[in-house]
């Protein structure tokens, strides 16, 4: 192939972009000050735009960098090491905020909006959730009715990330007039459209500078080419975008976790108690090793999901697994970091407390983990066939993986479709599956990264143990179901908390 | 004895008529979808007309299996697309034939 001498390779582009991102962070981003101000200053948004951070996943044909999801994820992780609010702004824009337009927008609309989105002139936002409908998206009420050659939209979207300053909102709406009473569609609404208004910023536990608002749509009219994809295909598009977005979020979690681990390594080697560095105590060593191994597995799984996203195909299970694993992993790593920092961690100056606050939301948004797990487990029980994976050559892992496959098959044969509604069954199987996927991704990564062999081996050991623990717990499902039913019946009754009836 | 319950439980013994199966299936579906049963038609496609995704379809099939006390194997639910097909499967199973 004859490549022009001055055309940079993908690796060179990424190298430059990482440098540019680090410069942006060093010059513009003071996470404590940004958090205290409760919003990302306009100056920081403008600098992010100049650094090309809004262009990551926009196609080159439309003024973007056209990066694969993996590379975009690397940048989001880099941002998340320093400031999760800024990372959330960029990640949401690259994921849910623009993905559906990039893939399903009409050419005219793509040509109109994508260059502005790449420039950061318009920032992307996504609205599916409503005040009464979160996990159950099928119940949303915002409605778009065909009128003339367009759509008339009424409703309200809650908790819209970037919503306060976004220039383009991609919304999931009901479109009963377009193919059936229960049809849904995705539609883009530009900020300046009459009838669109945004509420005040929400006050939050973490990512306090990330914009989170309610977006109201009163008698909003948009031409029909603001629809994305086929009329009535909205739920599929939303799931596709969520699959993509969850991968971005998973990679963001690796950045936060990397920060917490680095801070911990510095602290445990410097801080002395009982005449030695606290990092010399076995218990601390094990904690730090577990943090490092968890992060290794998180990176491996997020990377696998990102590569799968690039390859196309159904991302539902893998992206959910990566999102669950990385959000829980990041929270656990931040929590361990805080513990090992002692009082210093609880105080604000180290930044560890902020990292812990900031990553808590990732277990909730873009699908609460509890809900993703029961769905993942139901999917395992009805899958036509578990994707064939060759044995890994790691005996303990292979044994666990076979046990998981066997138990899925047994439960499927025993309970049929009813099994899919037993949440203790589905979520325990799903947790085991998440362990299997993370362990497998770690093993495969170690095969190409010999220097990581020891860390990978420890990660696989821990994941295999945890996976077996989840499978062992399948034995107690009936018992646990019964106890939970009985106890919750009591606990939900008025007398349980001392309230009078 | 496992047969004991069957002998004394008239509900479990009574074999519902085709119409009854259809009506109960529609009622269950309407409850899951929170819609008026009168608007559900037998020929409706679960996905295109009723807007069901794979999860709500599983919930529906699972509640049918509870309602009629039948086992629905995962494999036999593959390829079901309309309410008619679901009702036919359930009827067949309630009648005890495969
Ligand atoms: C800071 C922030 C930013 C957000 N940004 C966006 C955005 O940009 N766009 C957008 O559309 N949404 C956004 N959201 C909304 C977010 O995606 C939802 O909060 C999330 O999907 C969960 O919905 P919910 O809050 O209504 O929780 P609910 O649906 O009320 O669930 C609450 C809890 O109940 C349990 N639960 C619910 N259903 C089940 C079930 N079937 N089985 C078992 N347990 C269950 C789970 O523990 C769950 O966590 C944001 C939220 C926050 C806080």
Task: List the domain range (segments joined by +) for residue B45.
Answer: 16-95
| Paired tokens of A270 | 């410097």
Whether residue A122 contacts residue A167, with contact meaning beta carbons closer than 8 Å, is answered with yes
| Alpha-carbon separation of residue A28 from A45, A120, A156 (angstroms) | 10, 16, 34
Query: For testing the chain A interface, which of B40, B51, B65, B70 should be mutated: the one with the most A CBs within 10 Å?
Result: B51
Residue A361 Cα distances to A88, A124, A331, A366, angstroms: 11, 20, 10, 10
Residue owning tokens 């009985």: A486
Q: Assess if residue B1 is contained within a domain.
A: no
The residue written with tokens 């499978």 in the block is: A471
Q: What is the reported pLDDT for A254?
A: 98
Q: Who among A138, A179, A381 is closest to B74 (CB)?
A: A381
Which residues in chain A touch residue B79, judged by CB atoms under 8 angstroms apart?
none
Taking 90 as the threshold, does the pLDDT of residue A500 lie above it?
Answer: no
Residue A416 with chain B: CB contacts under 8 Å = 65, 71-74
How does pLDDT run across A378-429, given as a tens digit for each residue?
Answer: 999 999 877 667 888 899 999 999 999 999 999 999 999 999 999 999 999 9
Q: A3-119 has which fold?
A: Butyryl-Coa Dehydrogenase, subunit A; domain 1 (1.10.540)
For chain B, counts of helices (H) and of strands (E)? 6, 0
Interface A-B, measured as beta-carbon pairs within 8 A, has a size of: 61
What pLDDT sits at residue A423? 97
CB contact under 8 A, A417 and B66: no
B49 Ramachandran zone, left/alpha/beta (phi>0; psi -120 to 50)? alpha
Residue A10 has pLDDT above 90, yes or no: no
What is the phi/psi pair of residue A221, to 5°? -115, 130
Closest C-alpha among A260, A379, A426, A252 to residue A327: A252
In chain A, the N- to C-terminal Cα span, in Å, equals 79
Would you say residue A331 has pLDDT above 90?
Answer: yes
Instruction: Tell me, in angstroms, the distance from the centre of ligand 1 to residue A249's CA.
Output: 15
**What letter would DSSP give residue B4?**
H
- Look up tokens 């056209």; give the residue: A66
Q: Write down the pLDDT at residue A55.
A: 98
CB A268 within 8 A of CB A340: yes
Residue nearest to atom 39 of ligand 1 (CA): A371
Q: What is the pLDDT of residues A203-221, one digit of tens each?
A: 999 999 999 999 999 999 9
Question: pLDDT tens digit string along A419-460?
Answer: 999 999 999 999 999 999 999 999 999 999 999 999 999 999
Contact between A417 and B78 using a beta-carbon 8 Å cutoff: no
Q: For residue B29, which of A485, A381, A182, A141 has the smallest C-alpha distance?
A: A182
Identify whether B7 is part of a domain: no
CATH code where residue B57 lies = 1.10.1200.10
Domain residue extents for chain A? 3-119, 124-230, 371-481
Among candidate residues A35, A156, A366, A433, the one labeled active-site is A366
Higher-scoring residue by pLDDT: A152, A137: A152
Identify all chain B residues contacting A240, using CB atoms and an 8 Å cutoff. none
pLDDT at A197: 98
Asked if the C-beta of A113 comes within 8 angstroms of chain B's C-beta atoms, the answer is: no
Count of domains for chain B: 1
**pTM reported for the whole predicted model:** 0.94
Q: Per the structure block, which two tokens stand in for A127? A: 């609205």
Mean pLDDT of chain A: 94
Q: What is the widest separation between alpha-carbon atoms in chain B?
A: 46
Is B69 part of the contact surface with chain A (CB cutoff 8 Å)? no
Residues of A in contact with B77 (CB under 8 A): 382, 417
Contact between chains at B74 and A180 (C-beta distance less than 8 A): no
Residues with CB under 6 A from ligand 1: A 126-129, 134-135, 159-161, 204, 212, 361, 364-368, 370-371, 374, 423
Q: How many CB atoms lie within 10 A of CB A429?
A: 28
A499 C-beta neighbours (distance < 10 Å), count:
8
A366 a catalytic residue: yes
Query: How far, in Å, from the CA of A366 to the mean position of ligand 1?
Result: 7
- A369 φ, ψ (degrees, to nearest 5): -55, -40
User: Is the Cβ of A412 closer than 8 Å to some Cβ of chain B?
Assistant: yes
pLDDT at B5: 45
A365 CA from centroid of ligand 1 (Å): 6
Name the residue of A371, A374, A375, A378 to mutate for ligand 1: max ligand atoms within 8 A of Cβ.
A371
**A139 touching chain B per CB within 8 A:** yes
pLDDT band at residue A496 under the 50/70/90 scheme: low
- Confidence band of A497 (pLDDT split at 50, 70, 90): low
Q: Is A366 helix (H, G, I), strand (E, B) or coil?
A: coil
Please give the DSSP secondary-structure letter assigned to residue A142.
-
Distance from CA of A156 to the nearest CA of B (A): 20
Contacts of residue A148, defined as CB under 8 A and 6 or more positions apart, other chains included, come to none
Select the residue from A143, A179, A182, A429 to test the B interface by mutation, using most B Cβ atoms within 10 A: A182
* Ranges of chain B with pLDDT below 70: 1-13, 97-98
Q: How far apart are CA A164 and CA A210, in angstroms?
A: 9
- Cβ contact A175:A140 at 8 Å: no
Q: How far is the CA of A130 from the centre of ligand 1 (A)?
A: 10
Question: What is the atom index within ligand 1 of the atom nearest the CA of A136?
Answer: 29
Positive or negative CA dihedral for A424, A429, A434, A435?
Answer: positive
To the nearest 10 degrees (0 to 180), the angle between helices B83-94 and B54-67 is 30
The conformation of residue B46, written as its DSSP 8-state character, comes to T
CATH code for the domain defined by A124-230: 2.40.110.10
Q: Does A223 touch chain B (CB under 8 A)?
A: no
The pLDDT of residue A499 is: 56
Beta bridge partners of A172: A186
Q: What is the pLDDT of residues A293-325, one digit of tens each?
A: 999 999 999 999 999 998 987 899 999 999 999
């Amino acid at each position: 192939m004859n490549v022009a001498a001055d055309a940079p390779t993908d690796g060179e582009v990424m190298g430059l972009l990482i440098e540019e991102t680090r410069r942006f962070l060093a010059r513009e981003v003071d996470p404590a000050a940004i958090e205290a101000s409760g919003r990302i200053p306009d100056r920081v948004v403008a600098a992010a735009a100049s650094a090309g951070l809004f262009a990551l996943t926009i196609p080159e044909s439309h003024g973007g960098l056209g990066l694969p999801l993996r590379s975009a994820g690397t940048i989001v992780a880099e941002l998340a090491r320093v400031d999760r609010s800024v990372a959330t702004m960029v990640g949401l824009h690259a994921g849910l905020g623009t993905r559906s337009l990039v893939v399903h927008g009409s050419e005219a609309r793509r040509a109109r909006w994508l260059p502005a989105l790449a420039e950061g002139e318009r920032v992307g936002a996504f609205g599916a959730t409503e005040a009464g409908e979160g996990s159950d998206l099928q119940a949303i009420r915002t409605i778009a009715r065909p009128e003339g050659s367009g759509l008339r939209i009424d409703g309200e979207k809650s908790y819209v990330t970037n919503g306060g300053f976004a220039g383009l909102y991609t919304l999931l709406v009901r479109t009963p007039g377009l193919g059936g009473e229960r049809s849904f569609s995705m539609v883009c609404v530009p900020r300046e459209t009459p009838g669109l208004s945004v509420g005040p910023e929400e006050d939050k536990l973490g990512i306090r500078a990330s914009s989170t608002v309610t977006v109201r749509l009163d008698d909003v009219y948009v031409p029909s080419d603001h629809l994305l994809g086929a009329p009535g295909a909205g739920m599929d598009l939303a799931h596709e975008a969520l699959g993509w977005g969850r991968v971005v979020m998973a990679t963001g979690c690796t950045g936060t976790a990397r920060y917490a681990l680095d801070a911990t390594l510095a602290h445990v080697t410097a801080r002395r108690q009982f005449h030695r560095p606290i990092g010399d105590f076995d218990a601390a060593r094990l904690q730090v090793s577990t943090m490092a191994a968890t992060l290794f597995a998180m990176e491996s799984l997020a990377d696998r999901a990102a590569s799968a996203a690039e390859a196309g195909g159904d991302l539902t299970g893998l992206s959910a697994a990566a999102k669950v694993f990385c959000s829980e992993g990041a929270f656990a790593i931040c929590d361990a970091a805080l513990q090992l920092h002692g009082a210093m961690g609880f105080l604000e100056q180290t930044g560890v407390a902020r990292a812990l606050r900031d990553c808590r939301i990732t277990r909730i948004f873009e699908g609460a983990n509890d809900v993703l797990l029961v769905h993942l487990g139901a999917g395992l029980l009805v899958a036509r066939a578990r994707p064939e994976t060759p044995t890994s050559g790691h005996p303990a892992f292979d044994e666990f993986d076979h046990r998981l496959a066997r138990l899925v098959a047994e439960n499927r044969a025993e309970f049929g479709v009813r099994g899919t509604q037993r949440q203790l069954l589905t979520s325990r199987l799903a947790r085991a599956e998440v362990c299997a996927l993370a362990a497998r991704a770690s093993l495969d990564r170690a095969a190409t990264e010999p220097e990581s062999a020891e860390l990978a081996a420890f990660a696989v050991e821990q994941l295999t143990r945890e996976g077996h623990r989840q499978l062992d717990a399948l034995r107690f499902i009936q018992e646990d179901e019964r106890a939970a039913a009985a106890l919750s019946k009591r606990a939900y009754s008025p007398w349980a908390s001392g309230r009078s009836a | 004895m496992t047969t004991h319950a069957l002998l004394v439980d008239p509900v479990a013994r009574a074999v519902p008529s085709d119409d009854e199966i259809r009506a109960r299936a529609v009622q269950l579906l309407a409850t899951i979808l929170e819609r008026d049963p009168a608007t559900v038609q037998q020929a409706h496609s679960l996905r295109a007309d009723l807007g069901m995704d794979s999860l709500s379809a599983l919930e529906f099939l699972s509640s049918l299996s509870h309602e009629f006390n039948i086992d629905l194997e995962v494999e036999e639910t593959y390829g079901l697309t309309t309410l008619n097909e679901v009702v036919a499967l359930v009827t067949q199973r309630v009648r005890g034939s495969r």
